[in-house]
Structure 1
Amino acid sequence: MARSLDGLVLSPVDDQAPGQVGTRTRFRYHEENGRIWADYAGGDVVRGHLVGTREGDRLDFRYVQLKRDGGTSSGHCVSAVGELPDGRVRLTETWEWESREGSGTSVVEELPAGAPEGSDV
């Protein structure tokens, strides 16, 4: 099993569609006894939250977010926890909106040491 996510800050490696998370979004993760949660913000997202569980290297969570245009969105995501060659954490995600149409995949990675965290999550 990959290391704990507790206290890590991760960011998407690519931008998604407008109004969604992107490379300027920062996720601050917490983990305790198989439970995970994170706050996130940045780019088109003013504030977002996710909550769920971890079993081994699999995360299963729900997310909700407030966008800059005042709209809200929610969905479900399953992520595989992996490790990059330099030891940073990578999440390979499969997600689907529950509040609207759409689904997809994305990759988020732990920020390198010394990288600016950006948003105020």
Structure 2
Amino acid sequence: MAGSLEGRILVPVADQAPGQVGTGTRFAYHEADGRIWAGYEGGDVVRGHLVGTRDGDRLDFRYVQLTRDGATASGHCASTVEELPDGRLRLHERWRWESRPGSGTSVVEEPAAGPSAGTEPVTSG
């Protein structure tokens, strides 16, 4: 099983459609006792939250977000956690909106070490 998500910052590797997460979005993950949660923001997303569960390397969670244009949206995501050779984590995601039409796949991962390695604060709560 890949390492814990607790305290890790993950970022998308590519932009999605407008109003969704993009390379400017930062996810601040937490994990305890098979439960996961995160706050996220950046790019088109003013504030987002996700909550769910982890079973081995599988995540199952719901998310809700507010975008810059004032729209809210919610959906469901199933992800697989991969541990990269250097110890960073990558999530392979299959998501689907529940509040509007649309679905897709995405990849988020811990940024490589460096001066802009996703250390920007992400608010929670």
TM-score by length of 1: 0.96
Match of 2:89 in 1: 89
User: How many corresponding residue pairs?
Assistant: 121
Match of 1:75 in 2: 75
Cα deviation 1:22-76 (Å, max 9, x = unaligned): 0000000000000000000000000000000000000000000000000000000
Match of 1:120 in 2: 122
Q: Distance in 1 between matches of 2:15 and 2:47?
A: 17
Query: What is the correspondence of 1:26-41 to structure 2 with a 5 Å cutoff?
Result: 26-41=26-41
Q: Distance in 2 between matches of 1:25 and 1:35?
A: 22
Pair 1:2–1:61, CA change in 2 (3 A) = same
Q: Distance in 2 between matches of 1:88 and 1:113?
A: 10
Identity percentage of aligned residues: 74
Long gaps (5+) in structure 1? none
SS at 2:18 equivalent: coil
Q: CA deviation at 1:84?
A: 1.6
Long gaps (5+) in structure 2? none
Q: Which residue identity lines up with residue 117 of structure 1 in the other structure?
A: T
Q: Distance in 2 between matches of 1:89 and 1:105?
A: 17
Q: What RMSD, in angstroms, separates the aligned Cα atoms of the two structures?
A: 1.1
